[in-house]
Chain A
């Protein structure tokens, strides 16, 4: 259950009041008539599915009814920040890389691989490879 800070209502509200609306910051091609089919197809249909930091739009559906952005970690589900439409995030993928590096340096045995091949945050490439090998 999320407790989400709405940047317009300026307070935390229950997740039930919100709707997720997909990836944020998708720029429409400047000149649709001139762009390639591939670029247009990417714009219309293709979305990122990152393991880690994701910038996404949410709607405060039962509240102020405004769209806004959330930067969320797709593994830990931690909400790193929320910000208004038209604003840029201050937390990005570099932030995550830095955090993970710190975590790895601080703890060498942090690799956890759950049964069934689902890896927790901090799983190394080697551990990932071993899981894939076991599944193959």
Chain B
């Protein structure tokens, strides 16, 4: 038995293939209505995908992981269940998933370096770090009716007064599951499994139709 951990840079930057976001197919097949396009009225809900982010699952003891993360990234683990910590410029976040599990999301090109530095800092600690970037994607939902779209879709209480900024939960969404969080006043984030991304996207288009839901394509393109 060997204790060697093999760490790979899973990003496609250096490869010759073009990276496709999990929703690339859905955008083509189901379309990308501009906000308000379908209803002819002003759009009250907007969705957009933030693809190619780095998603790392951290497992282990809270104290050792918190210390390493503060040292390497400058933000700590959220102290309470169902909560979220976001760094100053809003690009990096850590979310509580379970008593020994957290989801760390950073810009895609930082993933490998961050994982390497975390591993170096953690040394032989009893922890696990798994890069799940390829397995899920982040869908952003905003607009004044964003929570109304969510109310149609999840059993969780998404009233903005109950689901306050800084909260994040894993719950049901339509017939699948989702990690739902609120990083700031104006946005909701849905982290969905890649294989369910198309389902969630089409569900959102349908559920949001009455609010004139539209899609905004992110302008930050994957650098090739």
Contact = CB atoms under 8 A, between A and B. Distances in A.
Given A8-B81, A9-B82, A10-B81, A63 B171 contact: yes
Interface in A1-32: 8-11, 13-14, 16-17
How many residues of A sit at the interface, in one of the four size bands?
Answer: 10 to 19
B99 interface: yes
B177 A62 contact: yes
A66 B156 CA distance: 18
Contact of A65 (B80, B98, B155, B169): B98
A58 to B, nearest CB: 15
Nearest to A1: B155
Q: Which has the most chain B C-beta neighbours within 10 Å: A10, A16, A17? A: A17
Given A63-B171, A64-B99, 18 more contacts: A8-B81, A8-B99, A10-B81, A10-B82, A11-B81, A11-B82, A13-B156, A14-B155, A14-B156, A17-B155, A17-B171, A17-B172, A62-B172, A62-B177, A63-B169, A63-B170, A64-B81, A66-B98
Interface of B: 80-82, 97-99, 101, 155-156, 169-172, 177
Contacts of B177: 62
B155 A64 contact: no
Given A16-B155, A17-B155, A62-B177, A8 B98 contact: yes
Contacts of B81: 8-11, 64
Interface of A: 8-11, 13-14, 16-17, 62-66
Contacts of A16: 155, 172
A87 to B, nearest CB: 14
A136 B153 CA distance: 51
27 contacts: A8-B81, A8-B98, A9-B81, A9-B82, A9-B169, A10-B80, A10-B81, A10-B82, A11-B82, A13-B156, A13-B171, A14-B156, A14-B172, A17-B155, A17-B171, A17-B172, A62-B170, A62-B171, A62-B172, A62-B177, A63-B169, A63-B170, A63-B171, A64-B81, A64-B101, A64-B170, A66-B99
B59 to A, nearest CB: 12
